Structure 1
Amino acid sequence: MEGSVKRTKDSGKGNCRPTHRWRQDWVNRGFLDEEEKQPQTVTWDLAMEFLDLNGDCDSWLLQIECFDPHEPFFTQQSYKDLYPHTYAGPFFDWPPYRQIKEDDPEGAREHIRCQYAALLSMCDRNLGRLLDKMDEKNMWEDTMLIVNTDHGFMLGEHSWWGKNVGPTYNEIANIPLFIWDPRHKLAGETRNALVQTIDLAPTIYNYFQVQVPESVVGKDLENVIVNDIPVRCAAVYGSHGGNINCTDGRYVYMRAPDPDNDNLFNYTLNCSHMCQGFTREELEGAELTGPFGFTNGYSVLKVKKIKPKTQSGQLNMGDFLFDLKQDPHMEHSIHNEEAEHMMKKHIVEIMKENSVPEEVYVRYRLRKE
């Protein structure tokens, strides 16, 4: 086909990703030979077009989701040149999700961090386009701006690559969040209150003076922005089926499931894993259940999870407890019965507030009452 790009069967294989993914990615790169063609740039171009058309109007919402910085860490050479380094190993800009191995290429850690930094610089440039546009249209006077992301990524910290497989260290869980609220015009200040991404929805609802639906469990952050008033004493987070993680800002506790309990279920009306549909075996055992507080009055399918061969799951590496005051980099898990009891109590209370199904308490060896 005219315009197609030929690659050898080993092209890009150093990225260590499942075959269909790295091959498709490698084909795509042949067509992304200019920055203007990359999906991130196209997304930001459309965002700038939206602001040109609607920036002077009232009561609009624009969410810019560019997916980057995300592996594979693919950028044009001009960004790579910002981070010169020496690396003689195989092609590598798409790290696997696993622990670092002794036979990983020499210098891989520095190399992948430079590749990531290059992509982050591209993100910075495009974010700068938005800030310039807000300057140009004097939008700072009446437009809220929220800059955040969904998770971090391990680039060799704690001897791990990636996410969602090993422990959810703060490099993954403690994400950037910047908010400009034109009602208060506070800039260059830091807040210490414990907040989560679930708080963004009620914050936006209240900014637009829209009543927050009862099913929304997050907290409006206006008082955090103004006076750093806490909205919660603890937060729970993690990956489905993996450790239940909890922090109160001082401690991080990671509660592992019972390794002998495989009663793990999806509660959903979307009969699909991320990359493939549910199997016949999964659907044959499904039952309609609920509604729960988090399903907005709808009953949903309860489907026992059977891990697909192509989908990795979080490893059960046991319980962890970290004291962030003494160990901010989470390098040494400690034993502290009083702190562990307190964190388990936080977990149970938050689970109850969120209508967590009964079998989850059993699987994580937690007492509901």
Structure 2
Amino acid sequence: MRAIFVLFDTLNRRFLPPYGAKDVVAPHFADLAGRSVTFDNAYGGSMPCMPARRELHTGRHNFLHRGWGPLEPFDDSMPELLSRAGVYTHLVTDHQHYWADGGATYHPRFRTFEFFRGQEGDEWKGHVADPPVPDNQAPTVTNGDLRRQDRVNRLYMTSEAEHPQTRTFDAGLHFIRTNADEDNWFLQIETFDPHEPFFTYDDYRKLYDTAYDGPELDWPDYVRVREPQETVDRTRSLYSALLTMCDHSLGRVLAAMDEHAMWDDTMLIVGTDHGFLLGEHDWWGKNTPPYFQETIHLPLFVWDPRSRRSDERRTSLVQTIDLAPTLLDYFGQPVPPDMQGAALAHTVACDAPVREAGLFGIFNGHVNVTDGRWVYLRAPARPGNQPLSEYTLTPTLMRGRMPVEVLREATLAPPFKFTKGVSPLRVAGTAYTDPHAFGSMLFDLGTDPGQRRPVIDDEQELRMATLMRDLMVASEAPAEQFERMGLPATGPLAQEHLLCREQAGQVETSRRRPLRAEDFPRSRIDVTTPISTLLAEPAAVSVLRAHLGDLVDGPLPGEVLELGLLDVAGVAVGLIPTATLHRIADELAEL
């Protein structure tokens, strides 16, 4: 038995022909659907990139206990368990987060692995001098250092053959050719694409020629859309072009399976970690707004040579946590008791259901649940997004290590069942946004698949909130998560625990047009002035401290210091409420 898992990052379901896309060139995804089972109700769980990959290893949710971070010493790891059982496991990837602090313990769980450098802001090629900035590049406010590095990296990708996606699939095909006559192996081919930046080549871009001559935005900030529709359309076309390049790479894998007659004894899984908002709900990106369908409802294709089902669709609700148990089961290995997911062999064969509802979310964000028809996005019960704690034995962040100031305050927490008797560190959780500002929302996907009309329905909210609470209990959510969400850990839920009606005003406010500079008084120093300049003026510091409190005195990243308060309010939604920003603007104007 062999298995191949092709993992894309940020593969939008709605841009794929098997899911209804009409204007995206992706013939190999259409071919894949004809050769496999297509899942119509596949959802992510822990978001975004590395939390999702932790689920792929562990088969359990982690977003209630930890933000972005590595595999923990107590975590089960599907590829490691396979390796211990004698299955040869190999990873080929260009996903740069594997060699950063927050992802450095994943790849060693494979027996062998290969890396290909250069995606996004991967700290790869070293140029002391700043690289050229294209004249037509659209202005952005975040990730300045990473964008600079990305411009350097692109200098070394002048052809498709040099692109890390191509090199990753080259390596995957080399493994297939080398081991086509061998048995008992698992190959994970993983590319960062079509994650932003949406960088590809003319052969793909010309397929979506829009005669656009405005600013190029191939890496949007995660903020509300302010650009005109033609820029939004152009960015979507750049994403589509990169997706078509991904489709070409997928086609190479399908051709290799044909060439080596692998369909009789090789499982193929093709999926992703999450999607991306490309102007839907008036947002770019992910993570800041709640996880709408565009970012959490995923494409998933499975060919299982045991049941040999192809060109069929499945409606059962499945999640990312199911993939580790599925692969362990396929290779005849037991599923560890800490895995929450279910093996999907019977679901692939005959659409056998594996769950009533699925939990999903991001640490410090909304907690969410779906039963496949209804989706409930629950915000914190109160402003401030507290209490929050992370539980870890590997205190690293996406890029870097947890500050010693945070670690000095850490305490040992009692073990969870899934920590296998080990007491983790409890450290203060950080929230860069306040999801309370978005409010809680309930949607009926049967009548509103685009999630444009939140429903106030106490009976349905009570049912969904109960499903959520029960799944949180099953995930051993820490006590502070129940407090943050305003949910009891035990006992029946009641009217007092419902939030949609109470928070309807926040939902409406969050949908208003984004704030602009012209909404505020202009003066010598104002809400567009860099924060570093404001902090250099004692009178301005007094104004800020009066309205923002400890935020002013806390350590601020260098990138934040170069932003104005208006930009910060747009990126870190809820951190500076609109009314507070207006009061600050008025008082700064008087200085």
Give the TM-score taking structure 2 as reference length. 0.59
In structure 1, the partner of 2:282 is 159
In structure 2, the partner of 1:24 is 149
The aligned runs of 1:201-240 (5 Å cut-off) are 201-240=324-363
* Cα pair distance change 1:45/1:261, threshold 3 Å: closer
Q: Identify the match of residue 328 of structure 1 among 445, 449, 454.
A: 449
Q: Identify the match of residue 181 of structure 1 among 287, 290, 304.
A: 304
Correspondence 1:54 to 2:175: no
In structure 2, C-alpha distance between the alignment counterparts of 1:92 and 1:65, rounded to whole Å: 25
Does the CA-based 8 Å contact 1:90-1:105 persist in structure 2?
Answer: no
In structure 2, C-alpha distance between the alignment counterparts of 1:19 and 1:328, rounded to whole Å: 36
User: What runs of 5+ residues in structure 2 fail to find an aligned partner?
Assistant: 1-124, 491-591
Secondary structure of 2:314's counterpart equals coil
In structure 1, what residue type is equivalent to 2:374? Y
In structure 1, C-alpha distance between the alignment counterparts of 2:356 and 2:230, rounded to whole Å: 42
In structure 2, C-alpha distance between the alignment counterparts of 1:313 and 1:339, rounded to whole Å: 25
Does the CA-based 8 Å contact 1:13-1:22 persist in structure 2?
Answer: no
In structure 1, the partner of 2:253 is 130
CA displacement 1:178-207 (0-9 Å, x = unmatched):
000000111011100000010001111111
Secondary structure of 1:334's counterpart equals coil
Does the CA-based 8 Å contact 2:469-2:487 persist in structure 1?
Answer: yes
Q: Taking every aligned residue pair, what percent have the same amino acid on both sides?
A: 43
> What is the deviation of 1:362?
0.7
* Cα pair distance change 1:3/1:26, threshold 3 Å: closer
> What is the deviation of 1:236?
0.6
> What is the deviation of 1:24?
0.5
Correspondence 1:73 to 2:198: yes
* Cα pair distance change 1:89/1:202, threshold 3 Å: same
Deviates more, 1:193-202 or 1:267-276: 267-276
In structure 2, the partner of 1:339 is 460
Deviates more, 1:7-16 or 1:193-202: 7-16
In structure 1, the partner of 2:234 is 111
Q: Identify the match of residue 286 of structure 1 among 381, 406, 410.
A: 410
Correspondence 1:194 to 2:194: no
> What is the deviation of 1:53?
1.1
RMSD of Structure 2 on Structure 1 (CA): 2.0
Secondary structure of 2:348's counterpart equals helix
* Cα pair distance change 1:297/1:64, threshold 3 Å: farther
In structure 1, C-alpha distance between the alignment counterparts of 2:475 and 2:468, rounded to whole Å: 11
In structure 2, C-alpha distance between the alignment counterparts of 1:293 and 1:89, rounded to whole Å: 55
* Cα pair distance change 1:312/1:59, threshold 3 Å: farther
Deviates more, 1:255-264 or 1:344-353: 255-264
Question: How many residues matched?
Answer: 364
Does the CA-based 8 Å contact 2:391-2:427 persist in structure 1?
Answer: yes
In structure 1, C-alpha distance between the alignment counterparts of 2:385 and 2:247, rounded to whole Å: 45
> What is the deviation of 1:31?
1.1
Does the CA-based 8 Å contact 1:152-1:173 persist in structure 2?
Answer: yes
Secondary structure of 1:141's counterpart equals coil
Does the CA-based 8 Å contact 1:294-1:354 persist in structure 2?
Answer: no
In structure 2, the partner of 1:41 is 166
> What is the deviation of 1:56?
1.7
In structure 1, C-alpha distance between the alignment counterparts of 2:458 and 2:451, rounded to whole Å: 18
> What is the deviation of 1:260?
3.7
In structure 1, what residue type is equivalent to 2:372? G
* Cα pair distance change 1:239/1:2, threshold 3 Å: closer
* Cα pair distance change 1:252/1:3, threshold 3 Å: closer
Does the CA-based 8 Å contact 1:5-1:27 persist in structure 2?
Answer: no
> What is the deviation of 1:306?
3.1
In structure 1, the partner of 2:392 is 268
Does the CA-based 8 Å contact 2:385-2:435 persist in structure 1?
Answer: no
- Higher-helix-fraction structure: 2
> What is the deviation of 1:226?
1.2
In structure 2, what residue type is equivalent to 1:61? F
CA displacement 1:243-274 (0-9 Å, x = unmatched):
00100111100111132452111111221221
Q: Identify the match of residue 299 of structure 1 among 423, 428, 432.
A: 423
Correspondence 1:277 to 2:398: no
Secondary structure of 1:145's counterpart equals strand
> What is the deviation of 1:30?
0.9
* Cα pair distance change 1:253/1:2, threshold 3 Å: closer
Give the TM-score taking structure 1 as reference length. 0.94
In structure 2, the partner of 1:351 is 472
Deviates more, 1:279-288 or 1:65-74: 279-288
Give the number of the structure whose alpha-carbon radius of gyration is greater: 2
Q: Segments of 4+ in structure 1 off by > 6 A?
A: 1-6
